[in-house]
């Protein structure tokens, strides 16, 4: 275990609607008294991380829980016949990012990232260079929209002089960023991937998001397998077997409840003190 002077980072990965899993994890962690010195989030993990950073209390997480239980697909992916026709004509993106922006602006209790009571760092990708971009200041809704700008699904977001897209492209589970910011203990919240599918997801966006969740899991395992011994970490196990699609927002309540229950059991079994990569993060299937 690290000394009391070492910084603890809460690291949240992306994963579309599977981000609901992180809400259940957060509820269990906060109830157990787990705290962090700062937060690093990518894609949907940026959304959840930003809400946690508002105070890191049960009240904060309860507001995040209520938000997720009311979200529909159209809140995040506001697709209309007009946008479909535009996609066919422009061949660049399916939807603008105003759905995510609106969710953040209506519900996040601070406007700029530097106003968060717990420091929050959002990860996006520079569209032209492919570099990971760490956003720690400025408009929160803009930064989160940039971090969540899934290629093809959403238009790139301009932040300053950069055009930014989803953090998944370079650093979806940004453990390396957390370490570079001074963390010596990481508490990582993955979202998992659908490991119990019997058929491919239906639709281009659903298939793309499924592929993205596979990328996230592989990236996390690679980073942790080469983690220096002096870095302590705990990986909260994702749900397994996990069914459904990260494009499906009809099961968020069940995902939250199941993840909270499984995380409580993991904490009670001493999981916070084990430097172990959960088996469900490694390649596997149930059929």
- pLDDT (tens digit per residue) in 28-77: 999 999 999 999 999 999 999 999 999 999 999 999 999 999 998 887 87
- Residue 20 sits at the vertex; the CA angle it makes with 18 and 25, to the nearest 5 degrees, is 110
Tokens of 241: 């077997």
pLDDT band at 219 (very low <50, low <70, confident <90, very high): confident
User: Does position 271 have pLDDT exceeding 90, yes or no?
Assistant: yes
- pLDDT (tens digit per residue) in 132-145: 999 999 999 999 99
Distance of CA 113 to the CA centre of its chain: 17
Burial class (CB in 10 A: 0-12, 13-18, 19+), 142: buried
What is d(CA 169, CA 148) in angstroms, rounded to the nearest whole number? 11
- pLDDT (tens digit per residue) in 53-67: 999 999 999 999 999
For residues 264-275, give the mean pLDDT: 97
pLDDT band at 4 (very low <50, low <70, confident <90, very high): very low
């Amino acid at each position: 275990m690290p000394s009391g002077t070492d910084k603890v980072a809460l690291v949240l990965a992306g994963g579309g609607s599977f981000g609901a899993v992180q809400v259940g994890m957060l509820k269990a962690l906060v109830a157990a008294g787990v705290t962090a010195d700062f937060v690093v989030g990518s894609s949907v993990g940026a959304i959840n991380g930003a809400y946690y950073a508002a105070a890191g209390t049960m009240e904060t997480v309860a507001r995040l829980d209520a938000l997720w239980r009311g979200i529909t697909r159209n809140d995040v992916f506001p697709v209309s016949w007009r946008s479909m026709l535009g996609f066919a004509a422009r061949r660049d993106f399916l939807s603008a990012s105003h759905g995510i922006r609106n969710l953040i602006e209506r519900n996040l209790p601070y406007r700029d990232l530097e106003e968060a009571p717990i420091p929050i760092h959002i990860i996006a990708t520079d569209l032209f260079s492919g570099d990971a971009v760490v956003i720690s200041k400025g408009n929160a809704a803009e930064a989160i929209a940039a971090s969540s700008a899934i290629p093809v699904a959403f238009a790139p977001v301009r932040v300053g002089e950069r055009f930014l897209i989803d953090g998944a492209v370079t650093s979806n589970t940004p453990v390396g960023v957390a370490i570079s910011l001074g963390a010596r203990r990481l508490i990582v919240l993955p979202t998992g991937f659908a490991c119990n599918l019997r058929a491919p997801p239906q639709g281009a966006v659903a298939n793309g998001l499924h592929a993205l969740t596979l990328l996230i899991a592989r990236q996390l395992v690679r980073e942790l397998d080469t983690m220096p011994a002096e870095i302590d970490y705990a990986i909260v196990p994702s749900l397994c077997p996990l069914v459904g699609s990260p494009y499906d927002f009809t099961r968020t309540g069940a995902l939250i409840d199941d993840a909270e229950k499984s995380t409580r059991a993991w904490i009670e079994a001493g999981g916070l003190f084990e430097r172990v990569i959960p088996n469900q993060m490694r390649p596997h299937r149930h059929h």
